[in-house]
Amino acid sequence: MNLLFVADPLASFKIYKDTTFAMMREAQRRGHRVSACEQIDLGWRSGGLVTARVQDITLTGEPEAWFRVDGTREVALREFDAVVMRKDPPFDTEFFYATHLLGQAEREGAKVFNKPAALRDHPEKLALLEFPQFTSPTLVTRRPEAVRAFQAEHGDIILKPLDGMGGMGIFRVKADGLNLGSIIETLNRDGTQTIMVQRYVPEIVQGDKRILLINGVPAPFSLARIPQGGEVRGNLAAGGKGVAQTLTSRDRAIAEALGPTLAARGLLLVGLDVIGESLTEINVTSPTCFQEITDQTGFDVPAMFIDALEKLAA
């Protein structure tokens, strides 16, 4: 197959942990041809097809100069067997426009994963509200008074921006309400930005578990991101320690309940975040943790992903 990965700049990859790199490596190992581009390389001229300025690459196996550019060309996206959208958050205006270009490419015959419309329809913080049976109490609002009322009701709460990633902008406010006003002002920006508020789940000390769904099927292990020191955030980017764990019965129940629905919507790869028994996020833009799970357990997550991609792209 000819595969195109729409991603961040290749030079920025930390290949010892990067999931897109792991996908590329497994694809190349199977003999597939790998190309890459960034969002800025996408274009659509009136009367023509959606194209991208792509780099055809070979992975070298070296830790530093890990890829070689074999050529650069302008090509219609429909010429690839699969286009894998792996641009990291935030989901900003440019990401939104990119999904429209990718959606047009689909209409021209391209196969895009995750499906562009599904990316737009599943904002990562909001999507979990569709499944309240699995979540802790959650509020999404722009109104400061609503946040204060939620904190008065639940005491210990977590506040976060809707467009954050890697634990960015997450705050905890305990029952005493200390600094709540200042935190609301910081995140809410005088009522101009919507924020999410959730009841604090104390099981975070045991880890924020990332459960991977691949075409609706859960990988058998999660990665528990365990907060270190005085942190409330388990995110690896915030210094959390990643520990692979076998899925619990509750983990599997959540994954098996959501998996078929999300796969049917065109979401090939989803990262569910679960703390204790509560679903806290549904990540769809560029879920990670392939390498950490594989390295610690021996279960080959990249192979599971490429297996699914091959079937859907055939």
- Active-site positions read 125, 160, 210, 225, 233, 273, 281, 283
Token pair in block for residue 111: 């196969």
3-class DSSP state for residue 270? strand
DSSP class of residue 125? Answer: T
Helix (H) or strand (E) holding 161: strand 157-161
Show the tokens assigned to 182. Answer: 């200042």
Dihedral sign of CA atoms 163, 224, 278, 128 in order: positive
Report strand pairing: 82-85 vs 2-6: parallel
Q: CA 272, CA 41: separation in Å to the nearest integer?
A: 30
Helix residue spans in the chain (DSSP H): 19-29, 93-107, 116-121, 144-154, 180-188, 249-264, 290-297, 301-313
Rounded Cα gap, residues 68 and 57, in angstroms: 5
